[in-house]
A = this chain, B = another copy of it.
Amino acid sequence: MEIMQVQEDLVCTRSVKNLEGISLRVMKDLKGNVLCASDPVGVGIGKWVVTTSGSAARWAMPNYASITDLTIVGIIDNWE
């Protein structure tokens, strides 16, 4: 899993069916890379979170058919 910070929301009006209705966030990882994660937790901008990748990202969603490969799974209690 990786430690990332939520940067902003991301909207895709036109998408494949299994991405519809899923909250997407622009993320920055600890090396400064910008990625896109699905967010089943509901996290505010600026928060530091733990993300999981690969097939685990689908298991972390309410609906396993969600075609994400990166999901926010927890908000870190204390991270500078």
Contact = CB atoms under 8 A, between A and B. Distances in A.
A contact face: mostly helix, strand, loop, or mixed:
mixed
Interface residues of A, number: 46
Given A34-B30, A36-B2, A12 B65 contact: no
A23 interface: no
Contacts of A38: 1
Contacts of A15: 41, 50, 73-75
Contacts of A78: 11
A9 to B, nearest CB: 10
A30 B10 CA distance: 15
A39 to B, nearest CB: 10
